[in-house]
């Protein structure tokens, strides 16, 4: 089954404790992206990757890191999480970055930073 898989689905942690949210897709997609969703703000792009070893900042990259060493994986790293990073996070992938290519989203990771 074609899918984007995120782990963990839920995480409660404390300020300053490094964490990684994994994202994997099995559709051989070139484009991958991370979003955070907060009430009233919609989906805001954190980072995106056009292909292996090619990453770039979205609209809200501060406090996050990503890497794209393999085509299928695009982990999101919070080196020193803070309470303002408490949010619902989505990973997504698409065949390419062409305008009309639909984004396929993972089920989301609900992150609480205390």
Partner 1 sequence: GQSLEQPSEVTAVEGAIVQINCTYQTSGFYGLSWYQQHDGGAPTFLSYNALDGLEETGRFSSFLSRSDSYGYLLLQELQMKDSASYFCAVRQTDSWGKLQFGAGTQVVVTP
Instruction: Using CB under 8 A, list all residues that contact partner 1.
Output: 31, 33, 35, 40-45, 48, 50, 56, 58-59, 90, 92, 97-100, 102-108
CB closer to partner 1, 59 vs 70? 59
Other C-beta atoms closer than 10 Å to the C-beta of 92 total 23
CB closer to partner 1, 32 vs 78? 32
Q: How far is the CB of 18 from partner 1 (least distance, A)?
A: 26
Residue 34 backbone phi and psi in degrees, to 5: -120, 140
Q: What distance in Å separates the CA atoms of residue 23 and residue 38, rounded to the nearest whole number?
A: 20
């Amino acid at each position: 089954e074609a899918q984007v898989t995120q782990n963990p689905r839920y995480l409660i942690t404390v300020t300053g404790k490094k964490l990684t949210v994994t994202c994997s897709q099995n559709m051989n997609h070139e484009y991958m992206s991370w979003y955070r969703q907060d009430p009233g703000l919609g989906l805001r792009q954190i980072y995106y990757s056009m292909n292996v070893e090619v990453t770039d900042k979205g609209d809200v990259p501060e406090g996050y890191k990503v890497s794209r060493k393999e085509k299928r994986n695009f982990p999101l790293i919070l080196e020193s999480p803070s309470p303002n990073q408490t949010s619902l996070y989505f990973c997504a992938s698409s065949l390419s970055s062409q305008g009309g290519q639909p984004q396929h989203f993972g089920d989301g990771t609900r992150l609480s930073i205390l």
